[in-house]
Homo-oligomer: A and B are copies of this chain.
Amino acid sequence: MTDMWEVLTIIGTIAFALSGAIVAMEEKYDLMGVYILGLVTAFGGGAVRNLLIGVPVSALWEQGSLFIIAIVVMTIAFLFPVILHQQWIKFGLLFDAIGLSAFAIQGAMYATDMGHPLSAVIVAAALTGTGGGMIRDVLAGRKPLFLQQEIYIVWTMVAGALIGLHVVTTPMGYIVLFVSVIILRMLSVHYKWQLPRRELKSFPEKTNTSL
């Protein structure tokens, strides 16, 4: 079980580091910008989750080997961007889905083990799965896309709820949940599932933005 999670965490870290590195190259950042944005995407979600559920953020530094893996992957991405690009188009979506699912389930298990209430477990699942991408977009000066068309966050929250409510507790259950989140996420993209949305005209007075 522990082995399985370590493998998943490594895959998730690689996928998220690559995602940050590619956004950095799209924004024409230099080598340092690529490393920073990749590391923030891979480790930012876990750091914010730790902050919110009361684990010292400095626990980050115990993940030394993950850091090295992320650095190596981003260096390869920087050296061979065209090859990466082609592979990303083919497998990027699957990698993204695996990272999202692995991190969401890991975050929910972590919060549950600490005895937090259901609301905290759900938020921990959502933040671990999507928080890195959120920080990446804010740093890159992009409006976080997850707020605009992000049905995926719903799947992380459902996974969090199932773990927080102790519906899923066995190794087999975790594997089924892990695969289900991946499939749901892939289907969301393929069929362009969307949550309902509302559009309001901005007020001229903008009273609502003056808090």
CA distance A152 to B30 in the complex (A): 12
Q: Is the CB of B31 within 8 A of A196?
A: yes
Interface residue from B28, B92, B150, B195 paired with A207 (Cβ < 8 Å)? B92
Please report the C-alpha to C-alpha distance between residue A65 and residue B144 in the assembled complex, in whole angstroms. 28
Contacts of A134 in B (CB 8 A): 139
Chain-B contact segment, one of A2-10, A116-124, A166-174, A176-184: A116-124
Q: Is A11 an interface residue (CB 8 A)?
A: no
The residue that A64 contacts in the complex, of B16, B34, B117, with Cβ under 8 A, is B117
User: Are A206 and B57 touching (Cβ within 8 A)?
Assistant: no
Q: How large is the interface on A (under 10, 10 to 19, 20 to 34, 35 or more residues)?
A: 35 or more
**Chain B contacts of A28 at CB under 8 A?**
148, 197-199
A100:B147 contact, CB within 8 angstroms: no
Interface centre among A143, A144, A154 (most CB of B within 10 A): A144
Q: Determine whether the beta carbon of A92 is less than 8 Å from that of B25.
A: no
Q: Which applies to chain A's interface (DSSP): helix, strand, loop or mixed?
A: helix
Proximity bits, A107-146, B CB within 8 Å = 1, else 0: 0000000001101100000000110111011111111111
**Contact A61 B119, beta carbon cutoff 8 Å:** yes
**Given A29-B147, A30-B151, A52-B57, list of 10 further CB < 8 A pairs?**
A23-B208, A28-B148, A30-B149, A33-B147, A52-B58, A53-B61, A64-B119, A88-B207, A88-B208, A141-B142
Contact sample, A vs B, 25 pairs, CB 8 Å cutoff: A26-B202, A27-B148, A28-B199, A29-B147, A30-B147, A30-B148, A30-B197, A32-B147, A32-B153, A47-B52, A52-B57, A54-B56, A58-B116, A78-B196, A81-B200, A88-B208, A100-B211, A133-B210, A137-B209, A138-B138, A140-B143, A141-B142, A142-B209, A145-B209, A145-B210
Top 8 closest A-B pairs, CB basis? A54-B58, A133-B211, A141-B143, A33-B147, A30-B195, A30-B197, A25-B200, A25-B198
